[in-house]
């Protein structure tokens, strides 16, 4: 089958920062002499004390360590704000669009953002928060979320954003894991016309996290919320009392910047730790090159700040580059399925960066919602979070972009800080569904099951052979877990957890997770996490969770559940369990299927045969493979007979 290839449009090849020849040259240089390459790239930042050291990294157990620019000092908030004031104080930094189009948008200039950040940073300091302290942020998509992040960066506090869709239980776990003494929240969030009770959730969470001394509450919707004396303070009035100037803290390049919890194949979500200098260089550089970003352009990354995409490509990348970044509080289909493209027209967005799951949902609504808008301002489209199927890619390209906008399909992870494998719009002929080629300094390899390097066209496990500046530095509170999770599956390499194919032209095609992580609407979920939520229910004896194909979400959640013997598994219990999981983790973990079974298929040594469970969840029951090692093969017959997917 011949694959379509879309050549780089002539205008892009001529005008882009990086054309194909330049990409090749810079990539080579970044691999051949990383120190020289990164010394140059790091000059894009303002350093307080310039670094002399550049790359000091090893993935080997004997001398494991990752340090970049380690003797340099800088402040990231100053890099996002102060240095733009001389020339661009009145440029809009954040263009905020509310959930409801009838409400007023907000335009915040660099001068105003700088002031807000300084006031809020002073407020944090007045509550005893300083360098190294953890600040949990549980906010909707409002400009104050960016203010909070930048204020933390200004005083050297480490922010830990918890997505506002997570439950109080999940929030409590994340507050406790990093011992935050302070939580920043709002009375309510708004999404798709519905209110999200953020402050009430915080109140419930704090019953389990008694170490929190301060809760700063933003009055966003004006809802009536409880106020705990001395602990809860009002954001606007307390920040208003503070001075609008705040000296930025001098941070070492390797001082922590933020923690972001993400799911892995085992155990509780882990706190991915990013540090200051390397992350900043990576975020600024990739944002500029991947989006061919120039000051003055209106840029919109539709991710939530609760995820890493929001950190790097809503806030830090665009602001370091002096850009105008759109922040959107709402959802793609409220009030109707034209919403994204109406916002594009309203703000004359030139670059739009979104997730395949949203595109598939919109595609299902029909083209008319798109074609009734102009979208003439769009020049470039981006995709992130999960593999984009060629059908959705083509729709994005033809209907949304009218065949005129390149698509950058960026592969990366919370752990990588920014884009790792991606086309560059002026350099890369596009193949729908392929993330194309590595970013500067990234050395991807495909390995087989034995860890042998595969050459040429091949499919295997995607590893990265050497460090890049934006790489995570540790798991919060558990450095050993960092090493064990990422560097022991294949010794000496960073293991991504993804499978990947490389075609004869050297293009990379991510095939999805090959560990026990599933990707639901671009949100990462550990199957173990959902299983432990299920078994925490008093009627459940055992549970196994796997991914299932889902037309819109990419993957859905398929849960096999064995109840306690005295319990009658029925539809009522199904509904109860679904509600339970939503409460324990959040709505994003809602199981799509609950399949009751008297037992799970296990080997004689008691190991659950997930391969079989995956096949049944994929409704691919023709080839279950070898079942001879099962302790009780009848379990599989029962599962097949009761499968809700079977015709
Ligand atoms: O499986 C890959 C998928 O998302 C995972 C990382 O998820 P998270 O840490 O939440 O970060 C998402 C935003 C960067 C990866 O292991 N993934 C992300 N981007 C792509 C992708 N899969 C295919 N193509 C992509 N462009």
The CA-atom distances, in angstroms, between 339 and each of 287, 342, 498 are 25, 5, 33
For residue 388, which atom of ligand 1 is closest to its CA?
24
Query: Rounded to an integer, what distance in angstroms lies between the CA atom of residue 624 and that of residue 636?
Result: 9
Per-residue confidence (pLDDT) for residue 2, from 0 to 100: 65
What would the two tokens of residue 384 be? 């992130």
User: Binding site: which residues?
Assistant: 191-194, 309, 333, 385-387, 409-414, 498, 513, 521, 524, 535, 537, 540, 582
Q: Are 523 and 588 contacting, i.e. CB atoms less than 8 angstroms apart?
A: yes
565-582 confidence digits (pLDDT tens): 999 999 999 999 999 999
Does residue 385 line the site of ligand 1, with CB under 6 A? yes
Q: What is the ipTM of this complex?
A: 0.99
DSSP of 510-526: EEEE-SSEEEETTEEEE
DSSP of 491-511: TTSEEEEEEEEE-TT--EEEE
- Measured in angstroms, how far is the CA atom of residue 411 from the centroid of ligand 1? 6
Q: Which residues contact 82 (CB under 8 A, 6 or more apart)?
A: 114, 248
Per-residue confidence (pLDDT) for residue 571, from 0 to 100: 96
Computed over its alpha carbons, how large is the radius of gyration of the chain? 24
Per-residue confidence (pLDDT) for residue 629, from 0 to 100: 83
Query: Rounded to an integer, what distance in angstroms lies between the CA atom of residue 399 and that of residue 623?
Result: 38
pTM for this predicted structure = 0.96
Judge whether residue 166 has pLDDT over 60: yes
Per-residue confidence (pLDDT) for residue 1, from 0 to 100: 52
Ligand 1 pocket test target in 258, 305, 412, 516 with most atoms within 8 Å of CB: 412
Does residue 412 line the site of ligand 1, with CB under 6 A? yes
Q: How confident is the model at residue 626 (pLDDT cuts 50, 70, 90)?
A: confident
Helical residues (DSSP H) of 197-257, grouped into ranges:
198-208, 235-240
256-293 confidence digits (pLDDT tens): 999 999 998 888 899 999 999 999 999 999 999 999 99
For residue 421, which atom of ligand 1 is closest to its CA?
26
Burial class (CB in 10 A: 0-12, 13-18, 19+), 624: middle
Query: Rounded to an integer, what distance in angstroms lies between the CA atom of residue 446 and that of residue 467?
Result: 16
20-66 confidence digits (pLDDT tens): 999 999 999 999 999 999 999 999 999 999 999 999 999 999 999 99
228-241 confidence digits (pLDDT tens): 999 999 999 999 99
Indicate the average pLDDT of the chain: 96
Question: 324 in helix, strand or coil?
Answer: strand
Nearest in space to 441 (alpha carbons), one of 5, 12, 88, 35? 35
Does residue 262 line the site of ligand 1, with CB under 6 A? yes
Per-residue confidence (pLDDT) for residue 408, from 0 to 100: 98
14: left (phi over 0), alpha (psi -120 to 50) or beta: alpha
- Which residue's C-alpha comes closest to atom 26 of ligand 1? 411
Burial class (CB in 10 A: 0-12, 13-18, 19+), 558: buried
What would the two tokens of residue 162 be? 């918890």
Average pLDDT of span 203-220: 97
The CA-atom distances, in angstroms, between 477 and each of 116, 128, 273 are 32, 22, 10
Judge whether residue 364 has pLDDT over 60: yes
Nearest in space to 3 (alpha carbons), one of 552, 507, 408? 507
Does residue 510 line the site of ligand 1, with CB under 6 A? yes
Q: Which residues contact 295 (CB under 8 A, 6 or more apart)?
A: 88, 91, 321, 322, 323
- Measured in angstroms, how far is the CA atom of residue 515 from the centroid of ligand 1? 13
Question: 410 in helix, strand or coil?
Answer: strand
Q: How confident is the model at residue 647 (pLDDT cuts 50, 70, 90)?
A: low
Query: Rounded to an integer, what distance in angstroms lies between the CA atom of residue 582 and that of residue 592?
Result: 12
Per-residue confidence (pLDDT) for residue 646, from 0 to 100: 78
- Laid out side by side, the sheet with 351-354 consists of 106-109, 92-97, 324-328, 298-301, 351-354, 380-384, 407-410
Does residue 513 line the site of ligand 1, with CB under 6 A? yes
How many of the other CB atoms lie within 10 Å of CB of 42? 24
Ligand 1 pocket test target in 354, 519, 529, 555 with most atoms within 8 Å of CB: 519
Task: Identify the DSSP state of 429.
Answer: -
- Measured in angstroms, how far is the CA atom of residue 384 from the centroid of ligand 1? 7
Lowest-pLDDT range, 103-117, 336-350, 449-463, 599-613?
599-613
- Which residue's C-alpha comes closest to atom 5 of ligand 1? 413
DSSP of 131-165: TT-EEEEE--SSHHHHHHHHHHHHHTPEEEE--TT
Q: Are 421 and 445 contacting, i.e. CB atoms less than 8 angstroms apart?
A: no
Per-residue burial over 206-233, b if 16 or more Cβ lie within 10 Å, else e, is beebeebebbbbbebbeeebeeeeeebb
Per-residue confidence (pLDDT) for residue 360, from 0 to 100: 94
Query: Rounded to an integer, what distance in angstroms lies between the CA atom of residue 134 and that of residue 177?
Result: 10
User: Binding site for CoA: which residues?
Assistant: 191-194, 309, 333, 521, 582
69-127 confidence digits (pLDDT tens): 999 999 999 999 999 999 999 999 999 999 999 999 999 999 999 999 999 999 999 99
Does residue 304 line the site of ligand 1, with CB under 6 A? no
H/E segment holding residue 3: none
Q: Are 442 and 464 contacting, i.e. CB atoms less than 8 angstroms apart?
A: yes
Query: Rounded to an integer, what distance in angstroms lies between the CA atom of residue 341 and that of residue 354?
Result: 12
Query: Rounded to an integer, what distance in angstroms lies between the CA atom of residue 434 and that of residue 383?
Result: 11
- Measured in angstroms, how far is the CA atom of residue 60 from the centroid of ligand 1? 25
Average pLDDT of span 350-355: 98
Per-residue confidence (pLDDT) for residue 447, from 0 to 100: 98
> What percent of the chain clears pLDDT 90, i.e. is strictly above it?
95
Per-residue burial over 146-165, b if 16 or more Cβ lie within 10 Å, else e, is bbbbbbbbbbbbbbbbbbbb
What would the two tokens of residue 421 be? 């494998």
Q: Are 54 and 40 contacting, i.e. CB atoms less than 8 angstroms apart?
A: no
């Amino acid at each position: 089958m011949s694959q379509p290839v879309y050549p780089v449009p002539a205008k892009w090849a001529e005008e882009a920062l990086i054309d194909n020849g330049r990409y090749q040259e810079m990539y080579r240089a970044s691999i051949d002499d990383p120190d020289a390459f990164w010394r140059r790239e790091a000059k894009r930042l303002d350093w307080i004390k310039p670094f002399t050291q550049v790359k000091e990294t090893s993935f080997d157990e004997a001398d494991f360590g990752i340090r970049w620019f380690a003797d340099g000092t800088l402040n990231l908030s100053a890099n996002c704000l102060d240095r733009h004031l001389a020339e661009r104080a009145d440029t809009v930094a954040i263009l905020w669009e509310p959930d409801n189009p009838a409400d007023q948008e907000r335009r915040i200039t660099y001068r105003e953002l700088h002031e807000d950040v300084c006031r809020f940073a002073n407020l944090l300091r007045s509550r005893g928060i300083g360098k190294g302290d953890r600040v949990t942020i549980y906010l909707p998509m409002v400009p104050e979320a960016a203010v909070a992040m930048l204020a933390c960066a200004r005083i050297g506090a480490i922010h830990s954003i918890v997505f506002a869709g997570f439950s109080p239980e999940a929030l409590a776990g994340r507050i406790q894991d990093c011992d935050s003494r302070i939580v920043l929240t709002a009375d309510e969030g708004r999404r798709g016309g519905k209110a999200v009770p953020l402050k009430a959730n915080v109140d419930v969470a704090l019953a389990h996290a008694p170490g929190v001394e301060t809760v700063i509450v933003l009055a966003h919707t004006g809802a009536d919320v409880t106020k705990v004396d001395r602990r809860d303070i009002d954001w606007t009035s307390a920040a208003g009392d503070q001075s609008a100037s705040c000296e930025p803290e001098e941070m070492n390049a390797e001082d922590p910047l933020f923690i972001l919890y993400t799911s892995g194949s085992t155990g509780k979500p882990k706190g991915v730790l990013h540090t200051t200098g390397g992350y900043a260089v990576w975020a600024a550089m990739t944002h500029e090159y991947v989006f061919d970003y120039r000051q003055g352009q209106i840029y919109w990354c539709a991710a939530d700040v609760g995820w890493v995409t929001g950190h790097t490509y809503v806030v830090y990348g665009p602001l370091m580059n002096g850009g105008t970044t759109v922040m959107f509080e709402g959802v793609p289909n409220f009030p109707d399925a034209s919403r994204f493209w109406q916002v594009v027209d309203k703000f004359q967005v030139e670059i739009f960066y979104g997730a395949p799951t949203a595109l598939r949902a919109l595609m299902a609504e029909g083209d008319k919602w798109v074609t009734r808008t102009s979208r003439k301002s769009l020049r470039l489209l981006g995709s992130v979070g999960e593999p984009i199927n060629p059908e959705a890619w083509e729709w994005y390209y033809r209907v949304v972009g009218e065949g005129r906008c390149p698509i950058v399909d960026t592969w990366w992870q919370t752990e990588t800080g920014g884009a790792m494998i991606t086309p560059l719009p002026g350099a890369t002929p596009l193949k729908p569904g392929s993330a194309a080629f590595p970013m500067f300094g990234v050395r991807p390899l495909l390995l087989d099951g034995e860890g042998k390097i595969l050459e040429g066209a091949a499919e295997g496990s995607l590893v990265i052979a050497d460090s890049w500046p934006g790489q995570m530095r540790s798991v919060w509170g558990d450095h050993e877990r960092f090493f064990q999770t990422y560097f022991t599956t294949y010794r000496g390499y960073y293991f991504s957890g993804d499978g990947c194919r490389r075609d004869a032209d050297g293009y990379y095609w991510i095939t999805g997770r090959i560990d026990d992580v599933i990707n639901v609407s671009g949100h990462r979920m550990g199957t173990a996490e959902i299983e432990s939520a299920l078994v925490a229910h008093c009627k459940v004896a055992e549970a196994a969770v796997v991914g299932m194909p889902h037309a819109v979400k990419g993957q859905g959640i398929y849960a096999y559940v064995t109840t306690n013997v005295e319990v009658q598994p029925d539809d009522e219990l199904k509904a109860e369990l679904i509600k339970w999981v939503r409460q324990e983790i959040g709505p994003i973990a809602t199981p799509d299927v609950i399949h009751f079974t008297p037992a799970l298929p296990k080997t004689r040594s008691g190991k659950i045969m997930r391969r079989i469970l995956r096949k049944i969840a994929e409704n691919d029951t023709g080839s279950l493979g070898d079942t001879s090692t099962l302790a009780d093969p009848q379990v599989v017959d029962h599962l097949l007979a009761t499968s809700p997917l079977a015709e």
